[in-house]
């Protein structure tokens, strides 16, 4: 999985703009990676909603094993019970089933996203039931590798900002606006390093 083309430029820019990031960045190897599999990423994002990274990983492993390969057609063949038995809630099961149908009937086309800016892409993704702003932002970060996503609903990001910058928890809107302005146009890269600073294992969707 190739490094995003903007990554090195972003590191240099952020290190110059933010003294805390200039110390954090050298501690962590790696970079943002994408599987280039939109359906896989969206399913994983739905399963990860409102639960810890560890819990999401455990559930995902069971789900992936049950599917054999996470694809719309394979999920279409699974029963509600099959999916629920992986530890997935009734509501998330409904969302995953609807998502597979949207891919199969082409009412949602991931290829359309390349024509949309970030806010338009979030709106388009949110047409799928069960995909809200956080899930859409995770998709734009991890699948699309967009460079300037700042997911202020993400608990991991909020905890990392509070820890690294001694802000209140959660940081207030003025503080978040300040970080968004400081890290623009590379909020995604700053967010990735914030996550790394509180979780030694890189998150992937």
What kind of architecture, by CATH, is found in domain 7-30+149-198?
Orthogonal Bundle (1.10)
The dihedral over CA atoms of 195, 198, 200, 204, expressed in degrees to the nearest 10, equals -30
Distance of alpha carbon 49 from the chain centroid: 10
Reported as a single tens digit per residue, the pLDDT across 53-67 is 889 999 999 999 999
Provide the residue count of the chain.
205
Reported as a single tens digit per residue, the pLDDT across 20-51 is 999 999 999 999 988 789 999 999 999 988 88
Question: pTM for this structure?
Answer: 0.89
Contact 63, 47 (CB under 8 A): yes
Span 73-91, mean pLDDT? 97
Q: 103: which residues sit within 8 A by CB, 6+ positions away?
A: 39, 72
**For 38-142, which CATH superfamily applies?**
Hypothetical protein; domain 2 (1.10.340.30)
Is 112 in a helix, a strand, or coil? helix
For 24-72, strand residue ranges (E) read none
Cis amide bond preceding 170, omega within 30: yes
The structural domains of the chain, with segments of one domain joined by +, span 7-30+149-198, 38-142
Is 120 in a helix, a strand, or coil? helix
Reported as a single tens digit per residue, the pLDDT across 176-185 is 999 999 999 9
């Amino acid at each position: 999985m190739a490094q995003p083309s903007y990554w090195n430029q972003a590191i240099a820019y952020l290190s110059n703009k933010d003294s805390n990031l200039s110390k954090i960045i050298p501690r962590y190897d790696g970079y943002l990676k994408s599987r280039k599999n939109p359906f896989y990423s969206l399913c994983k994002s739905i399963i990860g909603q409102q639960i810890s990274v560890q819990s999401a990983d455990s559930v995902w492993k069971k789900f992936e094993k049950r599917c054999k390969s996470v694809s719309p057609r394979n999920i279409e063949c699974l029963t509600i019970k099959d999916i629920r038995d992986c530890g997935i809630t009734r509501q998330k099961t409904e969302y995953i089933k609807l998502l597979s149908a949207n891919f199969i009937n082409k009412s949602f086309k991931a290829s359309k996203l390349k024509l949309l800016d970030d806010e338009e892409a979030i709106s388009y993704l949110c047409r799928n039931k069960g995909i809200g702003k956080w899930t859409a932002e995770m998709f734009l970060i991890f699948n699309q590798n967009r460079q300037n996503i700042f997911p202020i609903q993400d608990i991991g990001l909020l905890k990392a900002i509070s820890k690294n910058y001694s802000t209140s928890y959660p940081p207030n809107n003025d503080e978040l606006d300040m970080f968004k302005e400081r890290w623009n146009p590379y909020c995604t890269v700053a967010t990735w390093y914030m996550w790394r600073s509180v979780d030694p294992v890189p998150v992937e969707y």
